[in-house]
Amino acid sequence: MNMVNLQDAINRLLGCRDSGDGSTLPKLLQELDVNLLLHEERLDSFFDGLLGLLDDRKFLALEESWHLAYLINNHWDELTTEQRERLRTILAGAFDRFRNWMGAFVTAEIFGDHCADERGFNTLRGLSETANLPSRALVPHGLVCLVRSATDERLRASAVELLRDLSTDENEQVRDEAIISLRDLDLEI
């Protein structure tokens, strides 16, 4: 794909949304990812369009919409501080609105890997309390990423404590994921 005009990419993504057919999203977003890498385009050149899609219920209802979160994860380092701040809010709101559980999985990774600070932890903690299932069960994955990425020992300890709390959650799916996460970190349950 030769995307000289990145607005064309947004228009094609909007076309998927409008048609209700997301079957071409994986290929479109993969080609966009390659285009961004090979042509040294910047994700920020059409950032507002991407934000709009992440806040669009109809787009997030597409089975393959999670590929957009994956694209953002791949290009996180290219974003400005302001864009990252804006994404934190939008991604937290989109967390349990992706149709496919992979949206929550990738979003949890973003918070754990790229937002491994107090605010990122607080976002994951909040999602562990308020997100709908099955997305809520993916918060432990984000906490594992945070434990591995954070440099603040106190923050890492808080994330482990939350994992232990989630290992006794009333929901079996959340409990199981928290237990798997604790084992993944080689920690006692």
pLDDT tens track, the chain, 189 positions:
444 457 788 889 999 999 999 999 999 888 888 777 766 556 666 788 889 999 999 999 999 999 999 999 998 988 889 999 999 999 999 999 999 999 999 999 999 999 999 999 999 999 999 999 999 999 999 999 999 999 999 999 999 999 999 999 999 999 999 999 999 999 877
Q: How far apart are CA 185 and CA 170, in angstroms?
A: 22
CA distance 177 to 139: 8
Domains in the chain with CATH codes: 1-81 (no CATH), 95-189 (1.25.40)
Residue at token pair 């107090």: 118
43 neighbors 37 (Cβ within 8 angstroms)? no
DSSP string, 60-126: HTSTTTHHHHHHHHHTGGGS-HHHHHHHHHHHHHHTTT-SSHHHHHHHHHIIIII--SHHHHHHHHH
pTM for the predicted model, two decimal places = 0.91
Q: Tell me the three state secondary structure of residue 19.
A: helix
